[in-house]
Chains A and B, each alone.
Chain A
Amino acid sequence: MLKHIGQYFLMIRMIFIKPTKGKIMRKLIFKDIHDLIIGSLWIVGFLSFFVGGVVSIQTALNIENPLIPKNLVGFATRQSVILEFAPTFMSIILAGKVGSFITSSIGTMRVTEQIDALEVMGINSINYLVFPKLIAMMLLPFVINLSMFLGIFGGWAATIYGGFSSSADFIEGIQLDFRPFHVVYAFIKTFLFAMILATIPSYHGYYMKGGALEVGKASTVAFVWTSVVIIVVNYFVTQVLLA
């Protein structure tokens, strides 16, 4: 375990030294933005819309007391979507989608000796493979932003469609007691999760041994570790920033 942590931080260091030629790197970054970010938009949007809807329905159904104001539905939806659902839950989803893609693509390059081929040509293969993914993942905040927007929009749509409260009440709820720091907190988390999402799956792909079967196993292990680390980091960041 300690050995892995040491090796992981050595890898992090290697990402930034002996960089690959700019022209080649630019292409790699655009490719990874396409694969990792653009390719995740629809699933993130889809999930966000419906989960936002469910959150608002559940909140509405739990309000039986007539003394509780109707704008609570919008308020609760906003809070849960911005604080946890969009940054944390979506990052876990992406640990499955983006993470396993990263592990399996780097792992396949390992088992088919493509990484050796890069090294023979004098390339720092860690920089070549991981740096563009790290840069691409720096766009994660935009994805999470989309998720926040669609989550709340889904909540609004479900509230209106289900007749739980009026549009005006919901929108009032969204604006109720709005603290900009909550958004800052969400984006600080997102930024950390982005780094975790880019590096832990890369580590598991890069240092894997064996053949095609092990690539599959490495992806699973990478997903488990990525989500565990995200949840633990989430706990500490929340403790430090909000408590």
Chain B
Amino acid sequence: MIQIEQLSKSFDANCVLDKVSTTFEQGKTNLVIGQSGSGKTVLLKCLLGLIAPDSGEIRFHNNAFSTMKDEEKRILRREIGMVFQGSALFDSMSVLDNVMFPMRLLTDLNEAEMRDHAEKVIQRVNLVDANNKLPAEISGGMQKRVAIARAVVMRPKYLFCDEPNSGLDPKTAMVIDNLIQELTHEFNITTVINSHDMNSVMEIGETILFLKDGKKEWRGTKDDIFKTDNNAVTDFVYSSELFKKVRKLYLDQ
């Protein structure tokens, strides 16, 4: 579980996060949605410690991030897996080496043990015949799977995904979403997913945080989202004709 309290961050005069408070629950896929530029990535980078917030607090299972010593932060980082927006695979390494990399770095397992474990995880994300290929030689959807495998190979307590299905076709996007959700349930991970894809919201939105201009505008579940009369949310959700029709059907029922 991650709690965020009154988190604020500005870049010069540009206020990107404005007193955001929320909770990301354990064993659930917690979605952060909002328009491009609403501050989703900055929020994730604050969680990762890549960006230092101006004020506010982040608690990982009740441990306040701001009071952690460097050593504690280092240990915390080992418990975090991250899937970047563009996969961020190391392009000079093969798929297998990418997945093995966190283990090489953080464990003392021998080569055979690491390989064994990595191969299991690669199988788990349904990648076949890709072990020895370079990231540039596989499709975007496969790269996402590798990124997910690399993120979960150390059995993280926390999994952060920045738009894990951007740039994928709707079917592949759904497969990736479902994979993340399955892993979340299987390992009881606190998962935070940035998205602006309504399909993901409806598919895996166990909790949903809606950001608008850096402010928390709304929070609820995928079932609440059809019922809300918050204008900003309905504007966002029903920007597509498809969802306008879906809502009509839903309300007619």
Inter-chain contact A116/B105, CB cutoff 8 Å: no
In the complex, A121 has a CB within 8 A of chain B: yes
- Which residues, 183 to 241 on B, are CB-close (under 8 Å) to A? none
Closest to B48 in A: A120
B105 partner residues in chain A, CB cutoff 8 A: 20-21, 24, 121-123
Number of interface residues of B (CB under 8 A): 21
Inter-chain contact A113/B88, CB cutoff 8 Å: yes
CB distance from A130 to the nearest CB of B (A): 16
In the complex, A119 has a CB within 8 A of chain B: yes
Instruction: Report A94-117 CB contacts with B as 1/0, cut-off 8 Å.
Output: 000000000000001000111011
Inter-chain contact B86/A119, CB cutoff 8 Å: no
CB distance from A242 to the nearest CB of B (A): 42
Closest to A128 in B: B105
A23 partner residues in chain B, CB cutoff 8 A: 104
Closest to A31 in B: B92
> How far does the alpha carbon of A110 sit from the alpha carbon of B50 in the complex, in Å?
13
Known: A120-B77, A121-B77, A121-B102. A114 touches B82 (CB 8 A): no
Chain A contact surface mostly: helix
> How far does the alpha carbon of A120 sit from the alpha carbon of B160 in the complex, in Å?
11
Closest to A119 in B: B50
Instruction: Report B81-113 CB contacts with A as 1/0, cut-off 8 Å.
Output: 010111011111000000001101110000000
A114 partner residues in chain B, CB cutoff 8 A: 88-91
CB distance from B241 to the nearest CB of A (A): 32
In the complex, B78 has a CB within 8 A of chain A: yes
Closest to A27 in B: B104
A21 partner residues in chain B, CB cutoff 8 A: 104-105
- Chain A interface size band reads 10 to 19
Pick from B84, B104, B105 the residue with the most CB of A within 10 Å.
B105
Closest to A114 in B: B88
Instruction: Report B19-55 CB contacts with A as 1/0, cut-off 8 Å.
Output: 0000000000000000000000000010010100000
Q: Which of A20, A108, A112, A122 makes the CB contact (< 8 A) with B77?
A: A122
Known: A113-B84, A116-B50. A122 touches B91 (CB 8 A): no
A20 partner residues in chain B, CB cutoff 8 A: 105
B74 partner residues in chain A, CB cutoff 8 A: 122
In the complex, B80 has a CB within 8 A of chain A: yes
Pick from A108, A113, A117, A119 the residue with the most CB of B within 10 Å.
A117
B82 partner residues in chain A, CB cutoff 8 A: 117, 120
> How far does the alpha carbon of A120 sit from the alpha carbon of B106 in the complex, in Å?
12
Inter-chain contact A120/B50, CB cutoff 8 Å: yes
Closest to B76 in A: A122
A119 partner residues in chain B, CB cutoff 8 A: 50
> How far does the alpha carbon of A113 sit from the alpha carbon of B82 in the complex, in Å?
11
Inter-chain contact B85/A120, CB cutoff 8 Å: no
B45 partner residues in chain A, CB cutoff 8 A: 116
B78 partner residues in chain A, CB cutoff 8 A: 122
- Which residues, 40 to 57 on A, are CB-close (under 8 Å) to B? none
> How far does the alpha carbon of A20 sit from the alpha carbon of B106 in the complex, in Å?
10
> How far does the alpha carbon of A113 sit from the alpha carbon of B101 in the complex, in Å?
16
Inter-chain contact B91/A120, CB cutoff 8 Å: no
> How far does the alpha carbon of A108 sit from the alpha carbon of B136 in the complex, in Å?
13
Beyond A112-B86, A117-B82, A121-B101, 8 additional pairs, beta carbon < 8 A: A21-B104, A24-B104, A24-B105, A114-B89, A114-B91, A116-B50, A117-B84, A122-B105
Sample of 12 A–B contacts (CB below 8 Å): A20-B105, A21-B104, A23-B104, A24-B105, A31-B92, A113-B84, A113-B85, A113-B86, A117-B84, A117-B90, A121-B77, A122-B106
What is the interface of chain B, defined by CB distance below 8 A to chain A?
45, 48, 50, 74, 77-78, 80, 82, 84-86, 88-92, 101-102, 104-106
What is the interface of chain A, defined by CB distance below 8 A to chain B?
20-21, 23-24, 31, 108, 112-114, 116-117, 119-123
3 nearest A-B residue pairs (beta carbon): A113-B88, A117-B88, A113-B84
